[in-house]
Chains A and B, each alone.
Chain A
Amino acid sequence: MGFKEARQKAHDVWASLVDNKRPLIFAGAASCGRAAGVQSVISAFRTRLAEKGIEASIIEVGCVGMCYLEPIIDIKMPGKPRVSYSNINPARARKLIADHIIGGEVCEDLAIGTVGEQRADGIPGLFEHPMLAAQNRRVLRNCGLIDPTNIDHYIATGGYSGIEKAIEIGPEATIEMVKKSGLRGRGGAGFPTYRKWEFCRRSPGTPKFLICNADEGDPGAFMNRSLLEGDPHAVLEGMLIAGLAIGSSKGIIYARAEYPLAVERLKIALAQMSEYGLLGDGIMGSSFSFEIELEEGAGAFVCGEETALIAALEGRRGMPRPRPPFPAVSGLWGKPTNVNNVETLGNLPQILINGPDWFAELGTEKSKGTKTFALAGKVKRTGLVEVALGTKLRDIVFSIGGGILDEKKFKAVQTGGPSGGCIPLEMLDLPVDYERLAEAGSIMGSGGMVVMDESTCPVDIAHYFISFTQQESCGKCPPCRIGTNKMLGILQKIKSGKGTMRDLALLEELALTVKRASLCGLGQTAPNPVLSTLRYFRDEYIEHIRNRRCPAGVCRKPRKKAADNHNSNSVADATGGE
């Protein structure tokens, strides 16, 4: 089957969804939906539909980004608009069947919006919802709307036109296009993607490898997971484009083994690609050949660092090594290798389809396009958001996130996960881009964003993130291995009211040593939570030391060793235990 016929078939499949003959039920069945219990909702639908003898299709889709409203169920009756319902449980599912599917009446009390052009009376469009209205969903455009296990849905919504274009214009023009778009690596460091590609393309040696870094490990971050679960083909198409651009014929996805659903959906997607001739020799009748292999990690945070990731792929211990040589020169098995983040790859198809100028419309001078963020913590609306770079933090927290829970006061927002820093109230008008975040002492990171309210203690925050990084240090270089551990010890002391001002000075000095002397990004960024909280909340540290008191009421003198773990205000709760 050629790609033209495949596209025709896909359009037919899609048309049958838009103009459906029997009821369609879309269930938000990404990890967030599953955690909220969507599977019991689905089985409730199945049972009740069978009881009533109604023939309906249930389609499991990804996450539309409104994780706090999960489980979300969309119902589309023939000829009627697709209506989204939130917070569905089995009882409500049965109500929906009775009212909407059988009775044909939209349940206005549960509905949050309609999807598509058709509108139902009294119900706004889903994308007019305040959480979604302020977003620019480009990478996530399909998430929650299409069936991720059905390649036809992806093709029908413009999928695989990007690689078609790339094949048509050739690798050099593809790189030029990405250069013009200003796309920067979405893994955190923000290195221009085209430069990485050019570097790798020019490196002598064959074969060349393209690695998709899907080892998302930041606590509280789930951007890549949602994208892989909701729209795996976008990433896979991005891999084809990147592979074509660097002259590689072998792609590898290094996926986090703790993302079983994403892995499963990738496997399905890969099988479908092979079936459609989008993998293997002579893709779309061209001379471009590409294979993609899926490898699962073994649970090490540091393997998100590219050299450690490569070591792990080679079967060695996942430990970073100094660069140069860069992977583009000597990477996997000593061959030129290009490592791109999931989101970077997910951006590519649309750059190719809509052109670089379209991409660069959004963003700031140096940071173009959009960025996804996992909005978590003490905000009313948590979920996965995608905004134009340069959007103010205030807009993200208050317009999209809906403000702080329980009408408490905003205190800070942590960007970039354990590698990032806390940004305080005074800096809420900071436009989010790579440079400005770095100036503020944080980093863009892969997109974790944890919002904290007045009941959060910055010392506790620093303690939480440092305890994570010190545990995940690979142990190779002393600053990271020992330094983070000593920092944790001092933070523990301060938290328990035993700290001294000398400890505070030592903590700061240690943090700077670890930041400057560490071998890889993990160590170099690990002290950021400490340094940024020291920068913006030093008075609270001093309060802990001088007056033996935690202003936020979080840190107590530890009576038992495990006291911290049960503290209701600790960060582990704020990040949903991610």
Chain B
Amino acid sequence: MAERKRAERKVEHKIIFDGKAYSFESGMTVLQAAEAAGIYIPTLCSHQALPPFGACRLCIVEIEGMRGFPASCSTPAEDGMVVRTNTDEVMHLRRAVLELILSEHPTGCLFCERKVGCEDFRGPGHLTKAGTVTGCMLCPNKEECELRILVEKIGISEVRLDSSFRSLPLERLDPFFDRDYNLCVLCGRCVRVCQEIRGTSILEFINRGPETRIGTSFHHLHLDMGCQFCGACVDVCPTGALADRTSKWEPPPQKTVETTCTLCTVGCSIEVAASRDRVVRTTPSRTDGINSEQLCVLGRFGIAELVNSRDRVTTPLTRKVGQLVRTSWEDAITLAAEGLSGFKSSETALLYPGLLTDEEANACRAFARTVLRTENYPYRFPPRKWNSVNASLSGLGIGDCILLVGADLTQTHPILGHNIKRAVDRGAKLLIIDTVPTFLDKFAAAKIRALPGDFSWALAGLIWAVVEKDAVADEQELAKFKELPKWAFKLLFEEIITHIGTDERTLNRAADILLEGSSTLVIVGREVGVENTHTHFNGLLSDFKSLMSSKTKSCEVNFARSTRDFDAHWLKVMQNIESMRVRALVMIGDLVPRLSPEWPNPLQDLDFLVVIDSHNGTYTPYAEVVLPAAAFTEKGGTFTAVDGTVHKLHPAVRPMGQSKPECEILALLAKAMGRNGDGLELPRRADRDTDILPRPERDFALSEQPSAPNLSREEVKCSNEWPLMLVNRHNSYLLHGHRLSRLVGGILSLCMSDFVRLSPSTAKNLDIRDGDEVYLVSGKGRGKLKAKVDCDIPTGLLVSRMTAKDPRLLALMGKEQASFWTNTAAVRIEKSGGDDNV
């Protein structure tokens, strides 16, 4: 009996392809079942990451009991289905459809009888500088083209129809990628990935009939449409219509290497395509990484440009008669070691960036403690592991809540932002407490607006709303909670509401959502870490968690805490440099202490500066010795991401010029200084594709706890004279202190640092139009910016993205305020500035 049942179950998953039975898993489409069975069905519009679309009509098959020729990509496989994939009629129709597609696509090279010889002759070099692509020879897609594969597999050797070349101009006005819609086959993959996966909806089918194209609404630029340039559309494009501008000029890649992106702490898996010793491009890895085959603009387009930059330091440099000159490694190391040895250990310091591999971060700390024997180095707390299995974002779905407090994740950790959006797609509910509108706002179930400094108030309000509901399951917990004389409960609910200016309904709705959910993930952005009320906030946060824990499993990712601690250490080292207690500094990267951007040159009083860096930076000209470091695509190791997971790095290319990984450089220095540098060098086996290295030790700790930095934020109030609230949030395109806008071509246009966004009603009141130049005037100074009218901005608020070093920002906010990541000022707008003093 049981046997029979098993047999029946087995029969349930049978599908017959061309007379042979194959098994398939329920939920598969006919196409997926065929792929699993190893049967080739040509497709153009289907893509594994995207839901079925059924447009290209190449995957048509015959299915018994179904009328006509259903598309296999969109037909669910059913038990006992009889499918014929290669009847004469099906093959004929596929050829006919492909012929139609090719009648709109340049085919010169596809059917050329000299194709093979020509391709061999052409070799890796490519004539892609041509403005109009008339054949594969000139196509930016090189030979990696799905259309070519289809022509071979389906087997057509001519197009009998009149060809219709669209003669559209190449679209090059946006950064990062070129669009040549003459090559487009309208498979719609780019449109779908943009809408359904990335949630941006920049691309859409436009026009109809034979004039149908892919494009943006009203032919606006991608930049103006709010495109994030994640490159997802480029990655799914089967033709050369969308082409990565950097790799367009590079030869076809010879190899690809899986590694981890270290441009932020998310830890995305990437695939580096390299040709000889150049990185050609980076694409999301197809293995299951945290980024699930998606990347951000930096990971997709930034890396190749960054590591191939002309600004790379390729040889060691030393100062000879006031000039930096090229020298050998031995010479440079000896000079650096001699220089450093001349100072007392307490007079030395080491500064290193947060985004190093674990081994390097470890080596840096070891170098500071055992070689320099100093305490003048910043300590980076290891990221806490997210303390619930459910909390890893990929697992979130229906019934889960995500509470974002002051975390503009799409900016700081783009892929985490993307994963939150995906979780919302799966049914999770998103609550946002933040100052400025962020990309994630449109996916939020409730938004609570809080000005900088008011996050504690907003959270207190939320706790109040939850307690007022009295719906917390554990009565005892609630009673206990109510008795406790907590900070929040010295305030009245009404007071909170008046203070943060949110209406009670929003708070109540947020509380409802929290109470309905079965688990809550709290993500606290680094924004919160610089609050005056930071300690209050932490207290409230633990209250909140204990309140929610009685009903739900809640967990927390706190960027604020680690940022704040790191900042505190920074400040201590910087104070020592400032007070000349530190005379000699080893600096990895181009680190300028973020908290004091107005210093003219904080390092000018140093007696001895060693810079270890991959790129030329602000301080290279002042250094005695400059040692070239390898970029992250050139080295191996491990990288601990923000969620505590450990990722592998594999070198894709050899270090550029004479550069070496930081570990190696530090080990050389240690040896030259006569100290034991054994623990510093990168273990050899990391170069090989072995398993993840054991977690490096992390038990270094400072003997004394640093005192919290003395940050104070003055309260900003709007008045009749200064009616508008300006909120500036620095952009986060930084790596090791280098401004990426300098090193990567298109980043500057993404920074929006020249714009101030304002609501349509504010613009209307002041008679300001999009693109007008306006002067912002605060009690402290004035600055000229371009107006951008944006429907997402609430009335009365102005939002800008000036960098920390922008003189306009310093003028408007004063240097104290400008040092925060987000800063505010009460301003008014003047349309013409009188005397322009900026």
Asked whether B216 is an interface residue with its Cβ less than 8 Å from the other chain, the reply is no
Given the contacts A513-B93, A524-B68, A486 and B100 also touching, CB distance less than 8 Å: yes
Chain A residue nearest to B57 in the complex (CB)? A517
Pair B210/A519 contact, Cβ less than 8 Å: no
Chain B residue nearest to A518 in the complex (CB)? B57
Chain A residue nearest to B93 in the complex (CB)? A517
Asked whether A482 is an interface residue with its Cβ less than 8 Å from the other chain, the reply is yes
Partner of A475, one of B76, B160, B205: B205
Pair A486/B57 contact, Cβ less than 8 Å: no
Distance, CA A485 to CA B104, complexed state (A): 11
Given the contacts A486-B162, A516-B68, A477 and B57 also touching, CB distance less than 8 Å: yes
Distance, CA A524 to CA B103, complexed state (A): 20
B209: shortest Cβ distance to chain A, in Å?
4
Distance, CA A489 to CA B104, complexed state (A): 14
Distance, CA A481 to CA B210, complexed state (A): 6
B242: shortest Cβ distance to chain A, in Å?
18
Interface string of A486-516 (1 = CB under 8 A from B): 1001000000000000000010011001001
Distance, CA A222 to CA B186, complexed state (A): 34
Interface string of B176-201 (1 = CB under 8 A from A): 00000000011010000000000000
Distance, CA A482 to CA B210, complexed state (A): 6
Partner of B76, one of A324, A476, A481: A324
Asked whether B592 is an interface residue with its Cβ less than 8 Å from the other chain, the reply is no
Chain A residue nearest to B74 in the complex (CB)? A322
Chain A residue nearest to B69 in the complex (CB)? A516
Asked whether A350 is an interface residue with its Cβ less than 8 Å from the other chain, the reply is no
**Which residues does A use to contact B, with CB under 8 Å?**
300, 302, 317, 319, 321-322, 324, 470-479, 481-483, 485-486, 489, 506, 509-510, 513, 516-519, 524
Pair A300/B100 contact, Cβ less than 8 Å: no
Chain B residue nearest to A486 in the complex (CB)? B161
Distance, CA A327 to CA B60, complexed state (A): 22
Of B57, B71, B103, B164, which is in contact with the most chain A CB atoms at under 10 Å from its CB? B57
Pair A321/B54 contact, Cβ less than 8 Å: yes
Pair A486/B208 contact, Cβ less than 8 Å: no
Asked whether B55 is an interface residue with its Cβ less than 8 Å from the other chain, the reply is yes
Question: CB-CB < 8 A to B185: which residues of A?
Answer: 478
Distance, CA A524 to CA B70, complexed state (A): 12
Chain A residue nearest to B51 in the complex (CB)? A321
Partner of B210, one of A473, A476, A509: A473
Asked whether B101 is an interface residue with its Cβ less than 8 Å from the other chain, the reply is yes
Pair A479/B100 contact, Cβ less than 8 Å: yes
Pair B57/A474 contact, Cβ less than 8 Å: no
Distance, CA A32 to CA B70, complexed state (A): 42
Asked whether B135 is an interface residue with its Cβ less than 8 Å from the other chain, the reply is no
Question: CB-CB < 8 A to A524: which residues of B?
Answer: 68
Beyond the given A510-B161, A517-B96, A524-B68, could you list 6 further A-B residue pairs with CB under 8 A, ordered by the A residue number? Answer: A324-B74, A470-B209, A476-B186, A479-B100, A482-B210, A519-B55
B417: shortest Cβ distance to chain A, in Å?
24
B58: shortest Cβ distance to chain A, in Å?
9
Given the contacts A324-B76, A509-B96, A517-B60, A475 and B103 also touching, CB distance less than 8 Å: no
Pair A317/B100 contact, Cβ less than 8 Å: no
Distance, CA A302 to CA B636, complexed state (A): 56
Q: Which residues in window 65-101 of B have CB below 8 A to A? A: 68-71, 74-76, 93, 96-97, 100-101
Question: CB-CB < 8 A to A474: which residues of B?
Answer: 205, 208, 212
Chain B residue nearest to A524 in the complex (CB)? B68
Distance, CA A464 to CA B104, complexed state (A): 23
Distance, CA A319 to CA B192, complexed state (A): 13
Question: CB-CB < 8 A to B56: which residues of A?
Answer: 477-478
Asked whether B543 is an interface residue with its Cβ less than 8 Å from the other chain, the reply is no
Question: CB-CB < 8 A to B104: which residues of A?
Answer: 482
Asked whether B399 is an interface residue with its Cβ less than 8 Å from the other chain, the reply is no
Partner of B186, one of A321, A481, A489, A509: A481
Question: CB-CB < 8 A to A510: which residues of B?
Answer: 96, 161
Given the contacts A481-B186, A486-B162, A506-B161, A475 and B208 also touching, CB distance less than 8 Å: yes
Partner of B101, one of A324, A482, A518: A482
Asked whether B745 is an interface residue with its Cβ less than 8 Å from the other chain, the reply is no
Partner of B52, one of A322, A475, A518: A322
B444: shortest Cβ distance to chain A, in Å?
19
Distance, CA A471 to CA B208, complexed state (A): 7
Pair B96/A513 contact, Cβ less than 8 Å: yes
A396: shortest Cβ distance to chain B, in Å?
29
Residue pairs across A and B with Cβ atoms less than 8 A apart, 19 shown, are A302-B208, A317-B204, A322-B71, A322-B74, A473-B208, A474-B212, A475-B211, A475-B212, A477-B54, A477-B55, A478-B97, A478-B186, A479-B97, A481-B210, A482-B100, A486-B103, A513-B93, A517-B57, A519-B57
Partner of A481, one of B68, B70, B75, B209: B209
B735: shortest Cβ distance to chain A, in Å?
39
Chain B residue nearest to A320 in the complex (CB)? B54
Chain A residue nearest to B96 in the complex (CB)? A513
A492: shortest Cβ distance to chain B, in Å?
11
Pair B68/A475 contact, Cβ less than 8 Å: no
Distance, CA A518 to CA B54, complexed state (A): 10
Pair B210/A485 contact, Cβ less than 8 Å: yes
Question: CB-CB < 8 A to A324: which residues of B?
Answer: 74-76
Please give me the 8 A-B residue pairs with the lowest Cβ-Cβ distance, nearest first.
A475-B212, A322-B54, A322-B74, A513-B96, A485-B210, A482-B100, A471-B209, A517-B57
A402: shortest Cβ distance to chain B, in Å?
37
Partner of B205, one of A470, A476, A482, A519: A476
Chain B residue nearest to A467 in the complex (CB)? B209
Question: CB-CB < 8 A to B207: which residues of A?
Answer: 475
A376: shortest Cβ distance to chain B, in Å?
24
Distance, CA A483 to CA B186, complexed state (A): 14
Distance, CA A1 to CA B209, complexed state (A): 52
Question: CB-CB < 8 A to A478: which residues of B?
Answer: 55-57, 97, 100-101, 185-186
Distance, CA A473 to CA B100, complexed state (A): 15
Distance, CA A516 to CA B92, complexed state (A): 11
B489: shortest Cβ distance to chain A, in Å?
42
Distance, CA A85 to CA B232, complexed state (A): 68
A501: shortest Cβ distance to chain B, in Å?
14
Pair B57/A482 contact, Cβ less than 8 Å: no
Partner of B100, one of A319, A470, A475, A483: A483
Distance, CA A319 to CA B70, complexed state (A): 17
B102: shortest Cβ distance to chain A, in Å?
10
Distance, CA A28 to CA B725, complexed state (A): 63
Chain B residue nearest to A302 in the complex (CB)? B208
Question: CB-CB < 8 A to A485: which residues of B?
Answer: 164, 209-210
A317: shortest Cβ distance to chain B, in Å?
6
Distance, CA A55 to CA B752, complexed state (A): 72
Chain B residue nearest to A468 in the complex (CB)? B209
Partner of A473, one of B97, B164, B209: B209
Of A300, A483, A509, which is in contact with the most chain B CB atoms at under 10 Å from its CB? A483
Question: CB-CB < 8 A to A300: which residues of B?
Answer: 208
Distance, CA A509 to CA B69, complexed state (A): 16
Distance, CA A482 to CA B104, complexed state (A): 8
Chain A residue nearest to B191 in the complex (CB)? A317
Distance, CA A485 to CA B186, complexed state (A): 15
Distance, CA A126 to CA B374, complexed state (A): 110
Pair B100/A516 contact, Cβ less than 8 Å: no
Distance, CA A477 to CA B100, complexed state (A): 10
Of B52, B55, B69, B160, which is in contact with the most chain A CB atoms at under 10 Å from its CB? B55
Pair B54/A519 contact, Cβ less than 8 Å: yes
Distance, CA A509 to CA B161, complexed state (A): 11
Question: CB-CB < 8 A to B162: which residues of A?
Answer: 486, 489
B11: shortest Cβ distance to chain A, in Å?
22
Question: CB-CB < 8 A to A489: which residues of B?
Answer: 162
B208: shortest Cβ distance to chain A, in Å?
5
